[in-house]
Structure 1
Amino acid sequence: MAPSETTDKWLAFAKRVQAIAQAGLTYAVNGYDTERYEELSAISVQIMQELSGENPEKIKNLFTNETGYQTPKVDVRAVVFEANKILLVHEKIDNCWSLPGGWADVGYSAAEVAVKETQEEAGLEVKPVRLLAVLDKKHHPHPPSPYHTYKIFILCEVTGGSLQQGMETQGVGFFDRTNLPELSLERNTPSQVQMLFEYLDDPGKEAYFD
């Protein structure tokens, strides 16, 4: 098994162990169960630390920052085309480019998140048109992450506003499929962006899901 495949395999183990531990801590009925599930949680942090080399306390804070039954996190991305080009924003956090979007906010629908993030990150007012894809991040070539994530891509049309950077972005623009800038792989991959261009070529293409 190749090194990257081995890492992905153990990353999946660590996430699953953490999910079991968190569910156990939520529903534990006595101190003995709580102690065992806390030990499982610590083991998952140790596995993640071995994989990433990060400080164990940082990993613990990321891995155990939620309570209750653990479920996948949701990342929503707006897909906006203009003149056969796709809208991308230049992220300050890693100096790379991504589709506008981010973690889903409590109290907002997925469509509302796509609209809000596009306005905040790119300065454009948009309306959601249709769902294009729901992807499981583990099936795509993203860097290792402590979260199990579903990614939602929503096609949007521009209704107003003008291109301008936001608090988390340092640039914004439309890019041709053959001349993409360096992408923020944590957020979107080249294969995902190329897949999205297929919906520009074929507006009737069915929504994709893993």
Structure 2
Amino acid sequence: MNDEPEWLVRARAVQALAQSGLAFTRDPYDRERYEALTAIAAQMMAGPSGADPDALRTIFEAERGYATPKLDVRGAVFDAEGRLLMVRELADEGRWTLPGGWADVNQTASECAVREVLEESGYRVRAAKLALVHDRARQGHHPAGPFSICKLFFLCTLLSPEPERLDGNIETADARFFAEAEIPDDLSTGRVLPHQIARLFAHRAEPGLPTEFD
């Protein structure tokens, strides 16, 4: 169940309708109407959140084409002792999360997850199983964001016991393996939640579990 505030859900829906309308309309008057809806969506979202409506409108106007959820990929890497790899995010006050990020074009979702693990931790891995397909809003991630996001969590096999030296990594400050009882409390909850980590440990313990979704 989506526990986000109704104003955010409605503002996001208006923005998506405006974006999709702009992608397909050929009528100049309809274009003006959809542009006005974009501005209204920014105002709807800015009011309760305290954000700058002009800044939100600029973000919305940069989105092109039919509006669809954005795709976030995460790699769940376990070592031989059953500990989970986590990284400390520089962008979120040094909080801990699973390595991952936005999916890139010209790569499959699993390739993106493997790349993100290498870039953020130095470990080379192989994606072995898609464990979780979660809608960010339905799972209760905070803080809420302006766009719909689909999150894919892949179980990954560790290919080497030692990380490679990373030059120019500007995303993470640390990478460590944690036992389930040692998972840090200061999680980056916009990226991963405790119940998702628990399910990933369950999938590691029982590889035959089906992919969980929604």
- Which residue of 2 is the match for residue 68 of structure 1? 65
Q: Structure 1 residue 199: deviation in Å?
A: 0.7
Q: Give the TM-score taking structure 2 as reference length.
A: 0.91
Q: Give the TM-score taking structure 1 as reference length.
A: 0.92
Query: Which of 190, 197, 202 lines up with 2:206 in the alignment?
Result: 202
Q: Tell whether the 8 Å contact from 2:155 to 2:200 is kept in structure 1 after alignment.
A: no
Q: Tell whether the 8 Å contact from 1:74 to 1:151 is kept in structure 2 after alignment.
A: yes
Matching of residues 54-203 of structure 1 within 5 Å: 54-82=51-79, 83-94=81-92, 95-142=94-141, 143-160=143-160, 161-162=162-163, 166-181=169-184, 182-203=186-207
Q: Write the deviation string for residues 141-173 of structure 1: whole angstroms up to 9, x where unpaired.
A: 112101100000111111124176732100010
- Letter of the aligned partner of 2:152 in structure 1? I
Query: Which of 47, 52, 58 lines up with 1:50 in the alignment?
Result: 47
| Structure 2 gap ranges (5+) | none
| Structure 1 gap ranges (5+) | none
For residues 11 and 163 of structure 1, the distance between their equivalents in structure 2, rounded to whole angstroms, comes to 42
Q: Structure 1 residue 62: deviation in Å?
A: 2.7
Q: Write the deviation string for residues 176-202 of structure 1: whole angstroms up to 9, x where unpaired.
A: 222221110111111111111111221
For residues 80 and 117 of structure 1, the distance between their equivalents in structure 2, rounded to whole angstroms, comes to 12
Work out the percentage of aligned pairs sharing the same amino acid: 41
For residues 199 and 164 of structure 2, the distance between their equivalents in structure 1, rounded to whole angstroms, comes to 24
For residues 112 and 31 of structure 1, the distance between their equivalents in structure 2, rounded to whole angstroms, comes to 41
Q: How many residues align?
A: 206
CA RMSD of aligned residues (A): 1.7
Q: Write the deviation string for residues 81-104 of structure 1: whole angstroms up to 9, x where unpaired.
A: 121211100000011111001000
